[in-house]
């Protein structure tokens, strides 16, 4: 009665994170508790428990915004290897992970750059030397639509971009004729990351998380991923969640770990709370020009501190964090930030 669908074109990129929808449904049924369970744990424990060598990871936020840096540092500290990273506009997180040797594959919408700040030294060096392989290209819109398909439990989603370009040719997408309009559409395969990691302003102990300001693609990514780790500026009472239910961007049933980490996005920006630490970002950009420099950075800020609190002391402590708060709240110009970094 019906014809087999004709595939017009196929991208040659590696298909990362795809799963049969029924297999994933069964996995969710078995592994994601629907009851309210206290999921508070330390960052160390969360990474030990949920991030494994070879996993396909995606980080929440965008570029230098709301990136779960305490988790990034912990992944480096625990020496994870052969990670595949979603370059869903991944900037500081992916650069630092690549420099530390944690990454072997990237699916790239945007990576290896720091927007206006320039190109990534560590990331580019690794790709140009072959140490890290870009296994597929994609665009920003398409990446988050891969997560949208996954969160809906559908195997793919049709879209109208990427046709006619090498971004398509090197992607894991396909093209077919839309049976209604007769036009060619791009089919994006669902992407189910092994772990998605987020930093949020507020979350209760069960994992109901709110986000202030833009959500980027965290709504879709959290629901698409098998495991979800959340670090939060503060743990709030369940009553807080129930008082403003519209504020819940990530619901508890997709969340596996909740870790209270004030300033856990430093040196990236936390909307309304603290601005980018430009000096720290530039310190990384300068040091990462060489492998020796990058090692110096990790020795100082990752391996040379026992935990994130000690890291915060090292980047300038309360004095620096208060300045970043004033800049974020437009009470002080960025250029006036004074370093008082402990040596």
Partner 1 sequence: MNTSTQVEYTLTELQSCVASHILEDNQSVFVGTGCPLVATMLAQRTHAPNLLIIFEAGGMGPQVPELPISVGDSRTFYKAIAASSMHDVMAAGQAGYIDYGFLGAAAIDMYGNLNTTVIGDWKTPKVRLPGSGGANDVGSFCWRTIYNLRNQSKRTFVKELDFITTPGYLDGTGAREKAGLPTGCGPYRVITQLGVYGFDEATKRLMLISIHPRVTLDEIQDNSDFEILIPEDVPVTAIPTDEERRILREIDPTGRVIDK
Q: How far is the CB of 61 from partner 1 (least distance, A)?
A: 8
- Closest to partner 1 by CB, 139 or 205: 139
Burial class (CB in 10 A: 0-12, 13-18, 19+), 270: buried
Residue 202 CB, shortest distance to partner 1, in Å, is: 16
Q: In the complex with partner 1, which residue's Cβ is closer, 140 or 341?
A: 140
Residue 42 CB, shortest distance to partner 1, in Å, is: 28
Tokens of 141: 């819109």
Pairing of strands 174-177, 184-189: antiparallel
Nearer to partner 1, 276 or 284 (CB): 276
- How many Å apart are CA 98 and CA 101, to the nearest integer? 5
Helix (H) or strand (E) holding 313: helix 308-314
| Nearest distance, CB of residue 57 and partner 1, angstroms | 18
The token duo for 157 is 């989603």
Judged by CB, which is closer to partner 1: 57, or 249? Answer: 249
CB 49, min distance to partner 1, A: 29
Q: Give, in order, the Cα–Cα distances in Å from 251 to each of 34, 69, 220, 269.
A: 11, 22, 11, 23
Cβ-in-10-Å burial (0-12, 13-18, 19+) of 309 comes to middle
Residue ranges in contact with partner 1 by CB under 8 A: 61-65, 87, 89, 108-113, 115-117, 119, 123-124, 127-128, 130, 134, 137-142, 144-145, 148, 159-167, 170, 175, 183-186, 213-220, 269, 271-272, 276, 328, 330, 335
Residue number, 62 or 311, with CB nearest to partner 1: 62
**Strand 56-59, strand 227-236: pairing:** unpaired
| Nearest in space to 195 (alpha carbons), one of 38, 80, 30 | 80
Least separation in angstroms between CB 77 and partner 1: 27
Task: Tell me: cis bond preceding 267? Omega within 30 of 0 counts.
Answer: yes
Tell the smallest beta-carbon distance from residue 315 to partner 1 (Å): 18
Q: Are 314 and 305 in contact (CB under 8 A)?
A: yes
Quick one: 78 or 244, whose CB is closer to partner 1? 244
Of residues 48 and 115, the one with the C-beta less far from partner 1: 115
């Amino acid at each position: 009665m019906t014809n087999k669908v004709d595939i017009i074109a196929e991208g040659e990129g590696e298909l990362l994170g795809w799963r049969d929808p029924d297999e994933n449904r069964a996995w969710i049924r078995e592994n994601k508790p629907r009851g309210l369970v206290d999921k508070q744990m330390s960052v160390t424990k969360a990474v030990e428990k949920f991030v494994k060598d070879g996993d396909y990871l995606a980080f929440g936020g965008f570029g230098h915004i709301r990136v779960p840096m305490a988790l990034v540092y912990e992944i480096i500290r625990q020496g994870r290897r052969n990670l595949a990273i979603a370059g869903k506009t991944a900037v500081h997180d992916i650069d630092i992970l690549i420099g530390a040797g944690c990454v072997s594959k990237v699916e790239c919408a945007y990576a290896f750059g720091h927007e206006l700040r320039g190109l990534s030294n560590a990331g580019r060096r690794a790709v140009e030397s072959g140490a890290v392989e870009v296994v597929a290209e994609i665009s920003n819109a398409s990446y988050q639509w891969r997560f949208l398909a996954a969160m809906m439990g559908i195997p793919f989603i049709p879209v109208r971009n990427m046709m006619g370009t090498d971004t398509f040719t090197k992607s894991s997408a396909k093209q077919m004729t839309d049976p209604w309009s007769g036009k060619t559409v791009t089919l994006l395969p669902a992407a189910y990351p092994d772990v998605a990691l987020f930093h949020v302003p507020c979350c209760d102990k069960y994992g109901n998380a709110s986000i202030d300001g833009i959500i980027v693609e965290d709504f879709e990514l959290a629901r698409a991923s098998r495991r979800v780790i959340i670090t939060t500026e503060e743990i709030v009472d369940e009553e807080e969640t129930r008082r403003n239910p519209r504020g819940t961007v990530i619901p508890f049933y997709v969340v596996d770990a909740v870790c209270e980490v004030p300033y856990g996005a430093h040196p990236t920006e936390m909307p309304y709370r603290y601005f980018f630490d430009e000096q720290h970002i530039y310190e990384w950009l300068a040091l990462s020009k060489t492998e020796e420099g990058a090692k110096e950075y990790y020795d100082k800020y990752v391996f040379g501190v026992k935990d994130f609190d000690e890291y915060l002391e090292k980047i300038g402590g309360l004095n620096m964090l208060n300045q970043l708060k004033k800049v974020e709240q437009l009470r002080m110009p960025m250029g006036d930030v004074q370093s008082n970094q402990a040596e």
